[in-house]
Amino acid sequence: MNLWPFASHIAEPHGIMVLFPVVNFSIMHWDFGFILAFLAIVIPWRGKLRVGRLMQLPKLTSSDRLGLYASTLISQWLIAAFVMWRALARGVSYTEMGMTVPDPWRIAWVTVALTSILCAGQFAGLKKLAQLPVEKRGPLFLITEKIAPRTPRESFLFAILAATAGISEEFLYRGFVFSVFVAIYGSSAFATTYGVVLSSLWFSIAHLYQGKRGLITTFVVGIVFVFVRVYGGSLVPVIIAHAGVDLLVGLCIPRFLGLNSIND
């Protein structure tokens, strides 16, 4: 039996249109529920705790940053591997998770356009923020400044981390979480809409450590990314754009602030 109904129609039992979505909890296996709860509770709690500890330190050494990058790399791959294992074990296909390339030409131009627009906007925004006084840059910029790489060794590992974040986070939120919510609301005409909003909400909550502004920004970015994922039928454009923006941030902030010459 197919447990992942993606049909979009309004259920009308006894000829009466249902105004509220019919939730299909039959596909909410215990492991899926565990994963959703983990992403909504443990991930934001852990992120806020780690950032809080980092910000209490007067400065981070090169060893501190390398350790942070390495631990984040390991944890992200482990979480993504576990989610992939459980999804495949429950019969979720690669197509349903956006892990295919149905239209290479469409995906290619969408990838180039999305990555170029986001990176250009991010570059301009970072350059403007770097010119402001420290007290006006905001907490998110200060966090990024503190963990940004300073040395070639740090930059190399940070580049791997940026790629990992693009792959793992897009798979988790635009792949797994989105497909779960679409399946849960599969009997509704707005199943995809619920999937877009809820997966973006989950993605936003994961960035709780960024504060109110960060929550709003990541929610909006999540909406844009999931629309791109739906349009192209693939995670490839959002993975590359996500990794590109993260890498740009990590490499530009030290350059703009003259941090590359600092040896810890």
DSSP per position, the chain: --S---------GGG---SSPPP-GGG--HHHHHHHHIIIIIHHHHHHHHHHHHHHSS---HHHHHHHHHHHHHHHHHHHHHHHHHHHHTT--TTTTT-S-S-HHHHHHHHHHHHHHHHHHHHHHHHHHHTS-GGGS-HHHHHHHHHS--SHHHHHHHHHHHHHHHHHHIIIIIIIIHHHHHHHTTTSTTHHHHHHHHHHHHHHHTTGGGHHHHHHHHHHHHHHHHHHHHHHTSSHHHHHHHHHHHHHHHHHHHHHHT-TT---
pLDDT value of residue 143? 84
Show the tokens assigned to 225: 């990314």
Show the tokens assigned to 11: 């259920």
Q: Which of 54-63, 139-148, 224-233 has the lowest mean pLDDT?
A: 139-148
* Percent share of the chain, pLDDT over 70: 89
Q: Is the pLDDT of residue 241 over 80?
A: yes
The whole-angstrom separation of Cα 84 and Cα 45 is: 23
pLDDT value of residue 18? 47
pLDDT value of residue 44? 95
Q: Is the pLDDT of residue 249 over 80?
A: yes
pLDDT value of residue 212? 86
pLDDT value of residue 264? 52
Whole-number mean pLDDT of the chain? 87
Report the pLDDT averaged over residues 104-115: 97
CA atoms within 13 A on the CB side of 180: 28
Q: Is the pLDDT of residue 3 over 50?
A: no
The most confident of 25-39, 136-150, 193-207, by mean pLDDT: 193-207
pLDDT value of residue 261? 53
| Interval 60-84: pLDDT, tens | 899 999 999 999 999 999 999 999 9
